[in-house]
Amino acid sequence: MKTYAIIGNQYEGLYTQPWSKVQPLTKTRPAPKFKGFDSKASAQIWFDQEKASQNLRHRQYTTVYDGAFTAEPQRYYIFTDGGNRNTGNHAGGHVKPTDKAAWAIAIYQGPNLTQPLYTDSQAYLGRTNNDMEVQALLHALEAAEKFTEPFTIVSDSKYVLDTVTNWMYNWQRAGWKKASGPIANLASWQKIFTLVTAQADRLAFIWVKGHASSAGNIMVDQLLNTAMDQL
RNA sequence: CCUGAAGCCAUG
DNA sequence: CATGGCTTCAGG
């Protein structure tokens, strides 16, 4: 019997009604995955496999475009940021050994994210911006080992957030290989994998738009810039 | 190779 | 405000 499977919205399940009845159930936000099958059995197999891989897929992050989110009381919020000054960039150019780079973190406790409890930063020469974003995450996770409260990592880097929440699990399952080319900043990601899997039960992630009125994001941006100034 | 996303810079 | 390059990734 012709069967349609829907996964990922409020209508998740198997349907044997005609497509004209099922199609409206797929037009939702967020968009679901859906597929048609010739038998209910094959639909069930696909559904179970998708569901299993969905369970294996790890936590997502919430996105915040206006910089404002409600902070839970007693929860810790660690803002992270990284940057470099790629002076005199030109076509075909790369990060020079003399380019300054830095990462910074700032730890707050909810619900009032006004005064950081702790800040840290470090400047280097000749490192990439993304390397610094990853370093910031790594140091945030290491700092979190010093307390036991639940905590949230706040970053403005999709590269960092997509990797901690999704890609690094795929890379790890594949023996630390990705679709094409070598994995950048591999050693850092392997350390982060260990730290995140150990603390997963009290860890969440938020993405904020860079420089968009988030006090914590602006704070770490200033911290890493003064770190570069002092280098 | 192309598409997409985010970040980081430089110059005017 | 605008143009242009580099760091990273996934998917087609």
A207 is a domain residue = yes
Domain shared by A197 and A223, yes or no:
yes
A15 is a domain residue = yes
pLDDT tens for residues A141-172?
999 999 999 999 999 999 999 999 999 999 99
A23 is a domain residue = yes
Burial A144-159 (b: 16+ CB within 10 A, else e): beeeeebbbbbbbbee
Please state whether strand B lies within 7 Å of residue A209 at its CB atom: yes
Helix or strand holding residue A226 (H, E): helix A215-230
Domain shared by A225 and A155, yes or no:
yes
Instruction: Measure CA A93 to chain center.
Output: 29
pLDDT band at A53 (very low <50, low <70, confident <90, very high): low
Q: Which CATH number goes with the domain that contains A95?
A: 3.30.420.10
Please state whether strand C lies within 7 Å of residue A190 at its CB atom: no
| Domain assignment of residue A190, given as a range | 62-230
In angstroms, the CA of A115 and the C1' of C6 are apart by: 34
Q: What angle do CA A166, A181, A81 make, to 5 degrees?
A: 50
How many domains does chain A fold into? Answer: 2
Domain shared by A148 and A201, yes or no:
yes
| Lowest model confidence (mean pLDDT) among A62-76, A156-170, A203-217 | A203-217
pLDDT at A179: 87
pLDDT at A90: 64
Q: Rounded CA gap, A100 and A97, in Å? A: 8
Which residue's alpha carbon is at the shortest distance from the C1' of C10? A179
Name the residue with higher pLDDT: A110 or A7: A110
